[in-house]
Structure 1
């Protein structure tokens, strides 16, 4: 029987589980060789099957470049109504790469463990836990839905707890395991809430394919709630912060070094701690819809990278230095995710797995050779005793320091370049049918409640709150399309749209000001009539007036769709609509205004003291003494079919008309932008083919035309003359990315410094070890240094294939709302981090390679700074004082009062005492005297007869 590649996926995951089962239940009876064979063999077979599946995935990628994936559903675990959880497996380019990393690096660490843990009495338990971790990690990355990911997520957390506290007879190591477990539970609490909220928001599905269809392609209509989605992403990031050791939940990872060193290499460097990064990359199509959350993620990543690097500067424990280095490098990955550089994050995840596993295993060889000494100030001069370990450790150090042509250089440079070059972008809303501009700001409104705001040179995206409406008799909360915008020029702006919604802004955010109580009527136009006064018009002749105190629905005597409104003052208001409808309010009553033609009036604009309008049939109207009159004008280049949808006046005192027309010499219709005056003539600029400009506004010195193609257009100078420049997205907060780049680059400098400090103090110079320890120090056996050599090779060449990753992972990652800016300085930006890294290496070489007194002198001159760094900013002490001690005190009070007094005393012992006393009280009745029993029977019968004889009313 032929087994398909997709059917291999569950075998890859469950093979390590079989190893964990055998070693866990029967390992005590097995010889060490059998334990090693089972533990290593199951992972080796899983790695070979992973290669087979990966090659099959490559073939699928050629046949199906847009959806390269292997899928296999084993069974349905839970099915209840809309909720269904399948035990399903999924291999795409991202999970395929992670699969090779986990099984490949995991296999090397299993082989290394046969030497490092070979003499441990509980080696069978160690390999059972290690295999169980491999199973959990593989479930996490191969699962096809968030339910499977969560099973693996919790599984790796449990395995981490078991392996950190592996030597549980040592109280310090047991407490380290408990600390890791508790801190991760805090993060997991946020993750669980986020998944539950997403489950509700996604109508009962956690399948990646369904979620990507719902969110990745913007398939959600007006019921899509960006605030809920943002909350989901933020809560799940809390889980990622716990699992991937980000501020403020990083404190468990340095203490996790209490476990065996191979555990640190596998779980706390190469695999488990990257689970949070993997989760966010997997859900990139959701995170890119939440730019605020992305900014939070980037900020936390940058802060973590810097804080952990500072903490590593003064550490003495060889594994603690690597632990804080891991936290810092995870910060780099999270930073990359936050700026939308998902491929760079995965690239660094891969190279970090190589060189950090190498460094941890190298430190394990040093600890093994030095009889478990971990203080680097009690080492030195080990390069003669450990030549292979030293050479491979140096390669890993060069890689993490970002030395050119090693793997870490390429991946870290991609992150730093991405941080500097990827400016956060705001997309122009789809179907942008509303625009407003003045000297203070510009607003563009479109679908799903999105309002794009420009203030100065800065663009921001704002979203209006949900509104309630009745759809088929059911009240629902929806996001309206923004169809009208207006401002009074004095700090109040209005937005109105579908489902009878009206919003107000004072400059920061929007609030729901009024709705039509469930009436799904759509507003089409708005106009400010003075400070805190406005008019809104819509379908079926609906007009709403706000007089500064309340909203009133006004009957204007018409039931046609109203599409334009202009307020010259509070007592002179004009409304236009379908069938050439023109109405005027004179402060007392509404009346009809003579107009021209039967085409819909689509817009008004003030130019000086004049009021102009446009109609759908291409007419330009001007208000005169007798009403609106049609103004003759020519639009050069327009052949026929001119339709006008919007009008405004620009800073040059000219009218700007927008719509569409058939241009001379072209087939089909074009969106058109017409600028000029009837007295001097007009010029025409062509917009997108088959397009339609629906709105136009002038503000902050620029005129913007918007329409259907998710872009806005503005006149711009070109070699051929003035053209319409298409803008689909605009950058926001460029200074924010510059700050992130500075922080990340400085963190890279610190990384190079403290890693070479570690190298020089461990391997170079004169030894500071005891003579006995130094004399007995020797190179580790081949099954321990062999994995080091392989990892060293990967640390050198693992970055050479980075550019291929962009093509390989492109079908997976959503295009973030970022723009890669290839300016004239991008080459310089690639060299600056390298120069900073070289500077850090040089300082470490002078201070520690040449045994300079400068570090000691600096510590003596700035003792407070040294103590703060050495004690890791006293974060652990702060947590202990603010959280642990109050929690333990509360637990003691609860134990003494509730548990001992109430539960044990009142409920348990009290209940027992009551029945004991009652038994003793009733004991005399059972004395064996037949006469007493007869008396009791007689009394009982008498009572019964008396009760039976009573009147019914007494019952």
Structure 2
């Protein structure tokens, strides 16, 4: 199966080409959706085959490269169109194709009746193709092609409803902010390439070769610069401070797009990139500290904003930003396996949550349409009592919410608790670890609060719809509910492959299968840390204690949400009226967008207007138009010479001859 790895990105690309070129003529939604979903399912089946073959090999042999052809060659440097198969890439391929297939299937029902149905699936397949290139490419340049591809597709999909100005603006915002991060990625790539080539004559960007030559990367300013440049790229692609503001605005796209971006594709790219290049990051304590601090700050900051949002998708968007912060916190403390593990479990429950919100919006839109109401179908203040009408959506959404809150037994608990423990006990940042753990624990409590706030406002209590609209509410069709059920099951049981050691011992010696699976990928980082005498805290009692504290914090967040939105539903309004400034600040996302507009966007617009009206119009156009005016004036004088009368020309000739004769006589 290894030799067929090229089929994994090729199948969605073929689906994209067919729907892009022929979709308008096909017209049949079932055929268009079947081509798109079927192509991703085919990729998923190949990925499954590769996974099983990889599992059959010993750990040290789980690395395979498939070169399709040589792309660039100059001297000893060579960049291939080639694919890398190892436990990390296999995990990402399974996530992208598996979750991606469920989202494609869901989209067939959700996008029914859309005018640009074929265009949507063309973009969606192209998005999947780009992400598969990113996670399976065997070199940095091919990764960057996929990196740019998902950026382009995000622009197309976020701005899918291009007739809406807000959607177009959101697409442009995502595109521009990602270009800032991409500049950092390229700087890191060029610096790393030059450093290894100039100093050690190793001209390569191949991941396997870079890992083999990792000992040549001497800790210092250059390695730190490389890491920070790559991390700048990650902050753009994975929506971390300061380049996170594009992601909440991405909600302007169709809901399945949000699920694909947030759960399985684009925003996980930065986490994957750092995990793939762990052998470089482990050599820069400074870069690791920056990654950890940015991740912890983002997790907490975004969580605070999520507590006051009323748009159901926007709450989930800030939740994604916060959860990505957890992943980067794990990367920054050297817990690469924990970060990838949370990436996987987050894909399960966040895809379920977004698709569940789409099911709610789909039903609300239908109900409000029958009433001819202009109420916002995404505003939770217009909902309430939906569990009676949408039982499958409610149950699956609740299970995914419990998972993201970190309740024991659910997928999110295992991965989030591991990150918090590693943040506290890692050997890299000493006293800063306590701050990192504190930020992560507070973010966990806020996550539990705002997610259950969402559940209570949407599904519980008295409906805020009219009787007529509420009567027309109904459960979504099977093409929407089946993916929800599959993802809910994964949200419950998907974390059991990574049971922590202390918990596994209580459960009869259950091993941490996920850690064992990824061990060969992160072996260099593990050995490097141990070789340099770095030892973290290994107190079983402390780990149990912190686990208990994190569970209590999550339960406290759930209890607070219940108290405010079920037991005493009038209290939130009293709180906001008592502290209006605080509520406005959180509701308006701490005015970060306004600050960016003031500090960057408006000055850039002013500079652009100056260059247009001041330099281009006055200077450039002035010079061009001035030359034209001089030529036109001179020509206007000369045109009187050409009168068209022969006697005038004769007079002129006589005058000229007389003048010449006079010059020769009187000189």
Do the structures match in fold with TM over 0.5?
yes
Change (3 A) 1:144 1:770: same
Give 1:53 shift: 1.9
Alpha-carbon distance between aligned partners in 1 of 2:75 and 2:49, rounded to the nearest angstrom? 38
- Residue 393 of structure 1 is aligned with which of 397, 405, 418? 397
Q: 2:388 maps to what in 1?
A: 384
The corresponding residue for 1:114 is 108
Q: How does 1:394-413 map to 2 (within 5 A)?
A: 394-413=398-417
Corresponding position of 1:665: none
How many residues align structurally?
Answer: 622
Q: Does 1:41 align with 2:35?
A: no
Match of 2:362 in 1: 368
Higher gyration radius (CA): 1
SS at 1:77 equivalent: strand
Matches within 5 A, 1:486-501: none
The answer on whether the counterparts of 1:270 and 1:356 sit within 8 Å (CA) in structure 2 is no
Distance, in Å, in 2 between the alignment partners of 1:15 and 1:934 is: 85
Distance (Å, rounded) in 2 between the aligned partners of 1:935 and 1:858: 97
Pairing 1:135–2:123 present: no
Determine which of 491, 494, 498 is the counterpart of 1:795: 491
Describe the shift of the 1:904–1:827 C-alpha distance in structure 2 as closer, same or farther (beyond 3 A). Answer: same
1:370-427 per-residue CA deviation (whole Å, 9 max, x = no partner) reads 0060111110000011110000000010000011111001111111111112121xxx
SS of 1:71's equivalent in the other structure is strand
What are the equivalent positions in structure 2 for 1:486-635 lying under 5 Å apart? none
| Matched residue, 1:214 | 213
Question: SS at 2:70's partner residue?
Answer: strand
Cα deviation digits, residues 772-828 of structure 1 (max 9, x gap): 332211111000111000000111110011121111111111226353422132211
Greater Cα offset, 910-919 or 157-166: 910-919
Q: Is the 1:57–1:70 contact (alpha carbons within 8 Å) kept by the matching residues of 2?
A: no
For 1:930 and 1:99, the matched residues in 2 are separated by 88
2:535 partner SS = strand
Considering fraction of residues, name the structure with more strand.
1
Asked if 1 retains the 8 angstrom alpha-carbon contact of 2:262 and 2:351, the reply is no
Match status 1:13 vs 2:13? no
Q: SS of the residue aligned with 2:385?
A: coil
Residue of structure 1 equivalent to 2:515:
806
Counterpart check, 1:898 vs 2:607: no
Q: In the superposition, relative to structure 1, how do residues 900 and 738 fare at CA in structure 2: closer, same or farther (>3 Å)?
A: same
- SS of 1:73's partner is strand
- Of 171, 192, 201, the residue aligned with 2:195 is 201
Distance 1:871 1:811 in 2: 45
**Unaligned 5+ residue runs, structure 1?**
425-732, 947-955
Give the 3 Å change call, closer, same or farther, for CA 769–904 of structure 1 in structure 2. Answer: farther
1:114-193 map, 5 Å: 114-193=108-187
Q: CA deviation at 1:246?
A: 0.7
**Deviation per residue, 1:198-255 (Å, 9 max, x gap):** 111121321111211222xx245xxx46211110000110110111111111111111
How far apart are 1:910 and its partner, in Å?
4.2
Q: What is the SS of the residue equivalent to 1:423?
A: coil
Distance 1:100 1:343, change over 3 A: same
Q: Which residue of 2 aligns with 1:227?
A: 221
Partner residue in 1 for 2:508: none
Q: Is the 8 A contact 2:196 2:216 kept in 1?
A: no
Residue 150 of structure 1, CA deviation: 0.5
Q: CA deviation at 1:182?
A: 1.3
Segment drifting more, 848-857 vs 175-184: 848-857
Partner of 1:535: none
Q: Is the 8 A contact 1:421 1:819 kept in 2?
A: no
Decide which of 772, 778, 782 is 2:474's aligned counterpart.
778
Equivalent in the alignment of 2:370: none
Instruction: Identify, as 1 or 2, the structure richer in helix.
Output: 2
Match in the other structure for 2:507: none
Q: 1:327 offset after TM fit, Å? A: 0.5
**Retained in 1: the 8 A contact 2:262–2:350?**
no
Q: C-alpha offsets along residues 317-368 of structure 1, whole Å, 9 cap, x if unaligned?
A: 1001000000000000000000000000000000000000000000000000
Q: Which residue of 1 aligns with 2:548?
A: 831
TM-score by length of 2: 0.89
The answer to whether residue 468 in structure 2 is matched with residue 752 in structure 1 is no
> Aligned to 1:205, what secondary structure does the other structure show?
coil
State the match for 1:24 in structure 2. 20
Match of 1:244 among 238, 242, 249: 238
The answer (yes or no) to whether the contact 1:271–1:353 under 8 Å persists in 2 is: no
Q: 1:225 to 1:394 in 2, by over 3 A?
A: closer
- How far is the alpha carbon of 1:905 from its aligned partner? 3.9
8 Å Cα contact 2:219/2:283 also seen in 1: no
Measured after TM superposition, the shift of residue 740 of structure 1 is: 0.8
- Aligned match of 1:423 in 424, 427, 442? 427
Report 1:804-883 matches (<5 A): 804-813=513-522, 814-815=525-526, 817=529, 819-823=535-539, 824-883=541-600
In structure 2, the residue matched to 1:693 is none
How well do the aligned residues superpose, as a CA RMSD in angstroms?
2.2
Q: Kindly indicate whether the alpha-carbon contact (under 8 Å) linking 1:202 and 1:211 is maintained by their aligned counterparts in 2.
A: no
Inter-partner Cα distance in structure 2 for 1:167 and 1:799? 36
Q: Distance in 1 between matches of 2:408 and 2:150?
A: 34
